[in-house]
């Protein structure tokens, strides 16, 4: 049976590492002082090393058609000998788990399969077959994981894109995809990726964050949460602004939890990842063109269609182009309380970018009329930021209060004030109120929503 999957002599390089797997039996055991302690990253290291041995020796093409039971039968004695030779202290249950995990990796996405299963990892960044990085708790670090060669990485890439009916090659070297669990994937291959394939995976959170859970990470404080809760329930339209990886989608998802369950919601995204918990949700997703360049469905078409679906609110994962015009129109014509995100570094930048995007729609509008549309449609801008220590913060909550001359007026209600950066690189700061009370507070009060007495007192620590 073993010969079915082991590479033949012509497929192996003349190196010690490509000898039959029986050679693993003579690998010297680690000295007792060098034994690997089996938990956390150490266990991942064991799996990475084992997987590397396996891919160097197995015919990966033959494995694509193998069942898990077949692979388990092939690798069980190999794993057992691998563990024994390295004096890894595993009990029978842990050994079975290691064997099963290894089989899953060989059937799944190869060396990165353990990373996909690790809930503490938020991003997986593959820089050619030689280097794999992860982001965990806001910090990017390199892993010991490697692919055998570029062909091995391309095989994993093709497994990802073929599952959604796409392809990636020289004629179509960039693609956006999604894994079965909803994780977003961006892929670039030669010739646009000069040194070899680049893969970026933004993992899909199985358990959506609430604002209360974000508070545990010191991303936001209770009075800020209360302001946003009341804003959502008072049907104020919200724009979440921030840079890449600053937590915009996470925050948008958390804000949506305050929408009453009786409302009909339509979500529009490039890659569906919002996890709204309400019962009445319609999810729409854009579609890229096929290999002939046909069949593309853009966010703008979806927004126009959503207006015919009787939504109470529309939630757009991110506006990045001409669809911004239709989003503002929706907010101004009976769909108050809608939400979206935008890439921008400050609330004022967010307004400027929104103005530029509306201009891309080609409508005969002056800059002044576009700004008036923005001031009328958007009520709240929430600014997020990823700090230098990897932490994510809501750094500002501002209210749009109308126009003064040709300028959209903003009043900041809460902000994050940096005080220092420690020797370890940790950012220390405080969340503070500015002393400004939101203009919609009286309206919210008529709906039964009241703010705490000191909620906006700048002298009170949040």
pLDDT of residue 347: 98
- State the pLDDT confidence band at 186, using cuts at 50, 70 and 90: very high
How far is the C-alpha of 116 from the C-alpha of 141, rounded, in Å? 15
Task: Say whether 459 sits in a helix, a strand or coil.
Answer: coil
Contacting residues for 293 by C-beta, under 8 A, at least 6 apart: none
CB 129 within 8 A of CB 150: yes
Residues 267-307 have pLDDT tens digits of 999 888 898 999 999 999 998 887 677 889 999 999 999 99
Residues 318-332 have pLDDT tens digits of 999 999 999 999 999
Residues 361-414 have pLDDT tens digits of 988 899 999 999 999 999 999 999 999 998 999 999 999 999 999 999 999 999
Task: Answer whether residue 23 shows pLDDT above 80.
Answer: no
Mean pLDDT (the chain, rounded): 86
* DSSP run (H or E) holding 185: strand 184-188
Residue 425: other Cβ atoms inside 10 A = 11
First to last CA, the chain: 66
Residues 385-400 have pLDDT tens digits of 999 998 999 999 999 9
CA dihedral 180→181→182→185, nearest 10 degrees, is -70
Residues 232-280 have pLDDT tens digits of 999 999 999 999 989 999 999 999 999 999 999 999 998 888 989 999 9
Task: Answer whether residue 425 shows pLDDT above 80.
Answer: yes
pLDDT of residue 302: 97
Task: Answer whether residue 22 shows pLDDT above 50.
Answer: no
343 HSE (CA, 13 A, CB side)? 6
pLDDT of residue 16: 33
CB 71 within 8 A of CB 103: yes
Share of the chain above pLDDT 70, in %: 88
Which domains does the chain carry?
1-107 (no CATH), 115-204 (3.30.450.90), 211-446 (3.40.50.300)
Least confident interval from 187-191, 249-253, 284-288, 427-431 = 284-288
Indicate the burial class of 436 (C-beta count within 10 angstroms; 0-12, 13-18, 19 or more): middle
């Amino acid at each position: 049976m073993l010969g079915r999957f082991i590479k033949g002599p012509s497929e192996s390089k003349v190196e010690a590492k490509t000898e039959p797997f029986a050679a693993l039996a003579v690998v010297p055991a680690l000295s007792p002082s060098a034994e690997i302690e089996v938990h956390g990253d150490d266990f991942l290291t064991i799996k990475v090393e084992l997987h590397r041995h396996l891919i160097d020796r197995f015919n990966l093409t033959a494995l694509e058609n193998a069942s898990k039971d077949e692979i388990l039968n092939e690798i069980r004695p190999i794993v057992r000998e691998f563990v024994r030779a390295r004096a890894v202290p595993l009990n029978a249950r842990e050994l079975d788990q290691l064997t099963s995990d290894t089989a899953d990796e060989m059937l799944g996405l190869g060396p990165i399969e353990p990373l996909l299963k690790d809930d503490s990892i938020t991003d997986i960044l593959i820089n050619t077959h030689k280097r794999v990085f992860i982001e965990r708790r806001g910090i990017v670090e390199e892993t010991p994981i490697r692919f055998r060669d570029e062909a091995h990485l391309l095989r994993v890439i093709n497994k990802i894109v073929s599952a959604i009916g796409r392809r990636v090659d020289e004629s179509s070297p960039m693609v956006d995809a999604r894994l079965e669990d909803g994780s977003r994937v961006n892929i670039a291959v030669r010739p646009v990726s000069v040194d070899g394939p680049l893969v970026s995976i933004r993992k899909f959170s199985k358990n959506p964050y609430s604002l209360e859970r974000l508070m545990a990470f010191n991303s936001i404080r209770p009075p800020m949460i209360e302001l946003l809760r009341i804003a959502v329930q008072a049907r104020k339209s919200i724009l979440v602004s921030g840079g890449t990886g600053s937590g915009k989608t996470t925050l948008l998802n958390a804000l949506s939890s305050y929408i009453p369950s009786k409302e009909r919601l339509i979500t529009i995204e490039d890659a569906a990842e919002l996890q709204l918990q309400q019962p009445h949700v319609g999810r729409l997703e854009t579609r890229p063109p096929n290999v002939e360049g046909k069949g593309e469905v853009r966010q703008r078409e979806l927004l126009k269609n959503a207006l015919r679906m009787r939504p109470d609110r529309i939630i757009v994962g991110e506006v990045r182009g001409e669809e911004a015009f239709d989003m503002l129109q929706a907010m101004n014509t009976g769909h108050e309380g809608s939400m979206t995100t935008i890439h921008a570094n400050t609330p004022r930048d967010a307004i400027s970018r929104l103005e530029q995007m509306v201009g891309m729609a080609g409508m005969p509008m002056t800059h002044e009329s576009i700004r008036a549309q923005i001031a009328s449609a958007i009520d709240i801008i929430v600014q997020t930021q990823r700090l230098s220590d990897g932490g994510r913060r809501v750094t500002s909550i501002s209210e749009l209060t109308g126009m003064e001359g040709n300028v959209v007026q903003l009043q900041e209600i809460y902000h994050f004030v940096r005080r220092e950066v420690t020797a370890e690189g940790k950012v220390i700061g405080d969340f503070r109120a500015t002393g400004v009370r939101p203009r919609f507070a009286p309206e919210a009060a008529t709906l039964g929503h009241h703010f705490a007495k000191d909620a906006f007192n700048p002298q009170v620590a949040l």
